[in-house]
Every structure is written in C-alpha cells, then in structure tokens.
Amino acid sequence: MMQFVEETSYKCDFIQKMAKTFPDTNIDFYSKCRQERIKEYELLFFVSNEELHKQILMTIGLENLCENPYFSNLRQNMKDLILLLATVASSVPICKHYGFYCDKTEQSNEIYNQSLPQEIARHCMVQARLLAYRTEDHKIGVGAVIWAEKKSQNCDGTGMMYFVGCGYNAFPVGSEYADFPNMDDKQKDREIRKFRYIVHAEQNALTFRCQEIKPEEKSMIFVTKCPCDECVPLIKGAGIKQIYTGDIDVGRKKADISYMRFGELEGVSKFTWQLNPAGTCVLERNEPESRENGVVRPIPPNEEMHPHKKLCLGNH
Ligand SMILES: Nc1ccn([C@@H]2O[C@H](COP(=O)(O)OP(=O)(O)OP(=O)(O)O)[C@@H](O)[C@H]2O)c(=O)n1
C-alpha cells in the first residue's frame, strides 16, 4: 500500500511538472518535501509520550486500548497513517517559487486578488489527491473537490469557504465489480474499453454535490488532472468561477479523450501548477507570511496590528 502511494505521488502531474521545469537540477523536490512533512505531521498528530497517550485514551473512554497489543498496534497505525498523509501531501510540494498561478498572458490584478493563498489551494488539491485513491480505473486515479466562498463574514475556522462537493473517476454509481470493462487504450477492442463507462472526477463532483453553486459566489474546483474537453464546458456551465489543476495534458489528443479546450477556455479563471510567472515581484508581495489556523498567508499591512483576528478569505 505504502509503496503504491509513494509511486503514484511521485508520478503525479505536479511533481512531474517540476521535474520538467528544472531538468538539469538534482533537487528531489518530492523527497525533500516528504521528509519535512513527515517531521511536521509527527509533531502535529503523534503523541510521542506513551504515558500521555494513555492518559488521553482514558480521558476519552478508550481505556481498553491502553493494553498491549492494542496500544502498540494503535501507535503503529497512527505512524503509518502519518507517513501516508505526508507522502500524499508531498505530491503537491510546498515550494516558494512554485504554485497555482494563472498564465502571465491572462494575469490581471483582479484575477490575482481573487486567487486563493497558495497554502489553501495546495491543501484543497491534497484533498483531491487523497480522493483519487478511491478510483475504479486501475491505471490512473483522478480526484476533484469543489469549494465556494461565502459572501457573509462568518468565520468557522475555514475562513469563508464551504464545501460543495467531491468526486473521483469511477464507474456509474450502483455498478458492481466487473459490470463494466476496465481497459486502457492499448487494448484493441475499442467498443468496450473503459472510457465509455468511467465517469470523470469532475462529472461526479458536479453531479453529487451537496450544495448548489451560487452565481454570486466564488466557487472553485480542484482537479488532480487537467479537465478534458467533455468536462471543460460542464464546469463552465455549472457556474464554477475558478479551476485549480495541472497543465501537463493541455493540448493532448488521444482517441477517446482530449485536452484541447482547457487552453482556450474563457470566463473561468485558470490556476495551473507552475513556476511563479511574476517572479520575485509576487514573492516580495507575498512576504511576510503568517501562520493562522494552520494556514500560511501574507499579512496585509493593516492587519499586523490584530494578531488574534480569525482568518477570513476574500475582500471585505
Ligand atoms: N479531467 C479528467 C481527465 C481524465 N479523467 C479520468 O482519467 C482517466 C484517464 O485515463 P488515461 O487516458 O488512460 O490516463 P493517462 O494516464 O492520462 O494516459 P496516458 O498513459 O496516455 O498518459 C480516465 O479514467 C478518465 O475518466 C478524469 O476523471 N478527469
């Protein structure tokens, strides 16, 4: 399991894009980031002191778990989970010069101001990456998460963002094992191969959303693979305002799936995983950074005076 998660995280579009951008460097962004995340998550989630851990378990009424082998099993499972989460999180590495940006040609102050802080965009993409592991396509998992930003100023720890829906690429809901073929395009039998039946991650996220997409609100979709030509009009038609994704497939055309429309898409802001196109200017603008509610974000000048203010996204 762990080996599979490591391999798929390393092969995912985000790491591959960075490797393509810096072909001559020997920097292994993925491993470097993974080591950092493991340390960070161990500090955050793992109770290193065994006695303290037992006390916590007793306080919450789980004294049965304080005995071995249950106790040691529990601790091992927690360590494994931390490793797994850290591995998936490093597939969208924290790197100052890399993030979700719109292309220079499309960049305007308005779009830049509406973009999410990188830390939040990365967090939502990691959610989508985790979801991708539920796929029923044995070649590649794709995950999609939709969030929206409320107009009101209620803060509940997620700023003004609320969850709208999520999905992954899979056979239609209710289908059972082997109801549909699962083949890739190397197979000769084109009539029955997987593309005919697998519902895309974005389509599932839009179909099974638990909230309506409101035209007056900023709604955004995070997809681990670039939206294909079928999904692009669906995303736009649903009223989604922003797409966060990778652009490794843009311009690709295969027999049953193509990625030609994303590049030309207008009316929806596109933030793709790329080198910061504004270079040092934006980096300077983004500093200094603060960590609030676990989120790193730039401190606007007039807010440095209110260190205890809760995080709110958006302009108000
Ligand atoms: N925006 C997208 C794009 C693709 N998919 C899903 O991703 C898979 C794409 O399959 P395939 O083209 O075989 O994957 P690749 O790894 O991109 O193929 P290749 O080896 O040609 O790069 C399909 O299950 C499709 O439903 C998706 O859910 N959402």
% of the chain beyond a pLDDT of 90 = 60
Residue 6 is predicted with a pLDDT of: 92
Domain count, the chain: 2
Flag whether 182 is in a domain.
yes
CATH number at residue 158: 3.40.140.10
Using an 8 Å Cβ cutoff, are 70 and 64 in contact?
yes
Its ipTM equals 0.93
Flag whether 224 is in a domain.
yes
End-of-domain residue from the set 93, 128, 147: 93
If asked whether residues 128 and 242 sit together in one domain, one would say yes
Flag whether 178 is in a domain.
yes
pLDDT tens digit string along 2-61?
A: 899 999 999 999 999 998 887 776 668 888 899 999 999 999 999 999 999 999 999 999
If asked whether residues 23 and 41 sit together in one domain, one would say yes
Mutation choice for ligand 1 from 142, 222, 253, CB with most ligand atoms inside 8 A = 142
Q: Is 111 in the pocket of ligand 1 (CB under 6 A)?
A: no
Residue 138 is predicted with a pLDDT of: 81
Work out the pLDDT band at 269, boundaries 50, 70, 90. very high
H or E element that contains 280: helix 280-286
Residue 26 is predicted with a pLDDT of: 64
Which of 208, 142, 152, 199 has the alpha carbon at shortest distance from 175? 199
Q: Is 139 in the pocket of ligand 1 (CB under 6 A)?
A: yes
Active site includes 216?
no
Q: Is 169 in the pocket of ligand 1 (CB under 6 A)?
A: yes
Flag whether 296 is in a domain.
no
Q: Which atom of ligand 1 is nearest to the CA of 200?
A: 28
Using an 8 Å Cβ cutoff, are 95 and 29 in contact?
yes
H or E element that contains 98: strand 98-101
Residue 288 is predicted with a pLDDT of: 36
Q: What is the mean pLDDT of residues 278-307?
A: 43
Flag whether 215 is in a domain.
yes
Collapsing DSSP to helix, strand or coil, 13 comes out as: helix
Q: Which atom of ligand 1 is nearest to the CA of 204?
A: 28
Looking at 110, 202, 266, 303, which residue is catalytic? 202
Residue 21 is predicted with a pLDDT of: 84
Flag whether 253 is in a domain.
yes
Flag whether 106 is in a domain.
yes
If asked whether residues 89 and 102 sit together in one domain, one would say no
C-alpha span between 91 and 7 (Å, rounded) = 10
If asked whether residues 174 and 60 sit together in one domain, one would say no
If asked whether residues 72 and 109 sit together in one domain, one would say no
If asked whether residues 179 and 81 sit together in one domain, one would say no
DSSP letter string over 25-64?
----HHHHHHHHHHHHHHHHH----HHHHHHHHHHTT-GG
Flag whether 305 is in a domain.
no
pLDDT value at 152 more than 80: no
Residue 283 is predicted with a pLDDT of: 37
If asked whether residues 165 and 178 sit together in one domain, one would say yes
If asked whether residues 163 and 281 sit together in one domain, one would say yes
If asked whether residues 113 and 239 sit together in one domain, one would say yes
Mutation choice for ligand 1 from 129, 135, 137, CB with most ligand atoms inside 8 A = 137
pLDDT value at 310 more than 70: no
End-of-domain residue from the set 93, 115, 143: 93
C-alpha span between 146 and 202 (Å, rounded) = 9
Q: Is 204 in the pocket of ligand 1 (CB under 6 A)?
A: no
End-of-domain residue from the set 93, 114, 148: 93
If asked whether residues 222 and 158 sit together in one domain, one would say yes
More confident site: 106 or 291: 106
**Mode of pairing for the β-strands spanning 295-298 and 289-292:** antiparallel
Residue 25 is predicted with a pLDDT of: 67
pLDDT value at 306 more than 70: no
More confident site: 255 or 94: 94
* Residue closest by Cα to atom 8 of ligand 1: 140
If asked whether residues 279 and 171 sit together in one domain, one would say yes
pLDDT tens digit string along 161-211?
A: 999 999 999 988 888 877 777 766 566 665 556 677 889 999 999 999 999
If asked whether residues 82 and 133 sit together in one domain, one would say no
Range of the domain at 251: 98-290
What's the longest Cα–Cα distance across the chain? 66
